[in-house]
Amino acid sequence: MKTRMIVIAINLWFFCVFFGGVVNARVIFEDDFDSYMDSPENHGWGIGSNVAITETEGRNGSRGIMVTYNTSGTSPYWFGKNINAEQLGDIYVRFYFKAHDPEYAGTEDAYYGGCKFLKIFGSHDGEGYANTTWAINYNHPMIREVSYGDGSGLDNDCQCIIRFAGSHTDPEVVVHTTSTDYSLVDNQWHCFEAYFKYNTNGNSDGEYQVWIDGSTVVHATNVKNRNDLNAAYFNAVHFANYSHYNTHTWYLYYDDIVFADNYIGIVGDNDTTSPTRSNGQPTGTLSSGTNHISISLTTNEDATCKYSVTSGTVYGLMGNLLSTGGTTHSTTVSGLSDGNSYTYYVRCQDASKNTNTDDFEI
């Protein structure tokens, strides 16, 4: 009777979606696109034809969303999450994004035609609607303003603006913090967080605040952004919306998206070290007749893990997830037979998306 040596080499991949920010924030929704292998449509997202998962071009080489801008209009670019059931009149939305223009990178012609890259849609349960938009400027590679309805009528969308520099359409608005137009020519990942608050009926108590890479770039209060007959809560959060026109193809990437009821903050701003892996199991020779086994290991910090049967596989391309209890990771592998050796490779990535670049073998 033959015995079988099973060698398990595990590359672990760690993931924690919500990290940073205040402790008492209630997370309404979160997705880093790494904790599942199927389509985002199966996880609450609505997506257009030009929206797709990228396996390796997310933040720090992970999975993320890639939007291809190659035409004008809206329908190819829908990428959103319905939040109507939450009945929220204020919300914090945090995400990482990168704009990439391979033809005109670093020039004023980059991202020509722009897009509405974050849009909050008001619910239609009331009369009309009240929407708010943050856009990549249609003519220049920058983000410079928030646009919203003034509440004077039932259809509220883009009648008013508040610019980072402080100018604003509604003279009643109070701007507390200002900055300059935010340039997008560096082709790097940035953290964008926005706070949206509807005004209550009869009042101008709406509010907007935006942080980029953890720093406030604009904060405005005394805002009227809905009519009293509009619904008092949001319907959906959308990214990668309408593009005004396109003369060439460019790309917009999203990752690490969180909705919450309080400030979220940037992910793992002080953490630059990938997880340490240890205690791989099993070791040695397994009993004859074994056809499946649990493989496991531990990490020095909370982690989510993936494995491959091919050494050197980039973690974003690994198709097998290990279950996790924080620092303990395991899964059952099957199809084993006597007389063979088996090797499994796993890599880890932490909440800051620090990733192991070597294989851990068990």
For every residue of 293-349, DSSP letters joined together read EEEEEEESS--EEEEESSTT--GGG--EEEEESSSEEEEEEE---TT-----EEEEE
For residue 333, how many other CB atoms are within 10 A of its CB? 17
Q: Report pLDDT for 19.
A: 44
Is it the case that residue 294 has pLDDT exceeding 70? Answer: yes
Mean pLDDT of the chain: 87
Query: Which of the four pLDDT bands, split at 50, 70 and 90, describes residue 120?
Result: very high
Amino acid at 5: M
Which run of H or of E encompasses 79?
strand 79-82
183 vs 224: which has the higher pLDDT: 224
- Over residues 276-293, the mean pLDDT reads 88
In this predicted structure, which of 11-15, 79-83, 245-249 has the lowest mean pLDDT?
11-15
Phi, psi torsion values for 287, nearest 5 degrees: -65, 145
Q: Report pLDDT for 24.
A: 64
CA distance 75 to 238: 12
Each residue's pLDDT tens digit, 47-60: 999 999 999 899 88
Q: Report pLDDT for 269.
A: 56
Each residue's pLDDT tens digit, 171-215: 999 999 999 999 888 889 999 999 999 999 999 999 999 999 999
Domains in the chain and their CATH numbers?
Answer: 4-14+271-361 (2.60.40), 27-260 (2.60.120.200)
Strand partners, 130: 156
List the one residue out of 167, 168, 161, 163 whose CA is nearest residue 144.
163
CA distance 99 to 190: 9
Is it the case that residue 21 has pLDDT exceeding 80? Answer: no
Amino acid at 41: E
352 vs 166: which has the higher pLDDT: 166
Is it the case that residue 7 has pLDDT exceeding 60? Answer: no
Is it the case that residue 238 has pLDDT exceeding 90? Answer: yes
